Amino acid sequence: MTKLEALEYQPFEEIKKNTPDNKEFWLARDLQIVLQYSEWRNFKKVIDKSMLACKNAKHLINEHFVEVNKTSDMPNSAIKIVPDYQLSRYACYLIVQNGDPRKEVIAFGQTYFAIQTRRQELTDAFNELDENNKRLVVRGHIKQWNQLLAQAAHNAGVITNKEFAIFQNAGYSGLYGGLTVHNIHKRKGLKKSEKILDFMESTELIANLFRISQTEEKLKIDQIKYCEMANETHYQIAKKIRNAMIDIGTTLPENLPTSDKSIQTIEQEEIKRLQDSQMKWMLDE
């Protein structure tokens, strides 16, 4: 996300709230202001259309549009009921889709909630995978991000093979409490021909994906041009991720279990399973 996009989406982030069990939601009254609807009755028409769209999509309206009416003090000790809704991300997505397209902020909202909804869909799909397939997905992402990191490191002055090895060690050292690639390789009991990343389970792979992606971004943002600075950046980003894991209380990377099955083995098994499945369909025709 660019800095400009971050500014455009900031209003939607600022009004986002969380339930006690950490589920995000937005209040309709807050969203009304951000989307520049001066009157509730006009915004309520958009909500009504969105509820209909929700129903037509076979979703339960009361799961996405939760009535949370409030009371407001009036003169002479009177009390006024102020209607409001607790909206899910999907409800907000439907609202901006049904909003006034002439408003620039509506366009920003459509993009923001489309991205957020897609991210959640991907997260849900990922969580439904078994451990082996999670490993395949994350390892694939790491391969792509490592290519981007290599390019960013090259632009930052990391040129020779020796410099790349030092740069790589800096990242692992920060994340693994001072352990180098050689140390980690030895600790996991791997052969010289076996890659560390290919024997990590999904939790450890995700920690390394975060290290790689954040370092790539930081090298570009800071426009680093010296090899030593690139190494220090890689180390410091990885160390901060490690410190965050310590603060949270999760298992540190070097203490996570090593899989006895490589990524390549899993790929071969999944391909064979797919081929067998296709053969059954052909025989059934």
Mean pLDDT by 10 residues, the chain (285 residues): 53 90 92 94 93 89 90 65 91 90 85 81 83 90 91 95 96 96 94 93 96 95 95 97 95 94 87 65 51
Please say which residue of 110, 127, 144 terminates a domain: 127
Cβ atoms of residues 106 and 79 within 8 Å: no
Q: 110 with 176, same domain?
A: no
Query: Residue 22 falls within a domain, yes or no?
Result: yes
Q: Is residue 271 part of a domain?
A: no
pTM above 0.75? no
User: Is position 283 within any domain?
Assistant: no
Helix residue ranges per DSSP H, the chain: 3-14, 28-34, 40-56, 61-64, 89-97, 104-127, 131-155, 161-175, 181-187, 202-221, 227-248, 263-283
Task: Verify that 75 and 146 share a domain, yes or no.
Answer: no
Query: Which residues does residue 82 pair with via DSSP β-bridges, in sequence order?
Result: 70
Range of the domain at 20: 3-127
- Give domain status of residue 282, yes or no: no
Instruction: Please indicate, yes or no, whether residues 139 and 160 belong to a single structural domain of this protein.
Output: yes
pLDDT at 109: 86
Q: What is the pLDDT of residue 61?
A: 93
Q: Which of 65, 96, 127 is the last residue of a domain?
A: 127
Instruction: Indicate whether 118 and 139 sit together in one domain.
Output: no
Q: Among 106, 127, 148, which residue terminates a domain?
A: 127
Residue 120 shares a structural domain with residue 195: no
Quick check: is 272 in a domain?
Answer: no
Which amino acid appears at position 268 of this protein? Q
Structure tokens at 238: 């990885």
Do 149 and 161 lie in one domain? The reply is yes
Q: Are residues 160 and 254 in the same domain?
A: yes
Rounded Cα distance between 178 and 171, Å, is 10
DSSP class of 25: E
Number of structural domains (the chain) is 2
Q: 120 and 87 in one domain? A: yes
Within-domain flag for 284: no
Same domain for 86 and 197? Answer: no
> Are residues 93 and 173 both part of a single domain?
no
Report the pLDDT value the prediction gives residue 110, as an integer from 0 to 100.
86
Tell whether 269 is covered by a domain. Answer: no
Please report whether residue 91 resides in a domain.
Answer: yes
User: Do 212 and 248 belong together in one domain?
Assistant: yes
Question: CA-to-CA distance for 253 and 100, rounded, in angstroms?
Answer: 49
Interatomic CA distance for residues 238 and 184, integer angstroms? 15
Q: Same structural domain for residues 103 and 150?
A: no
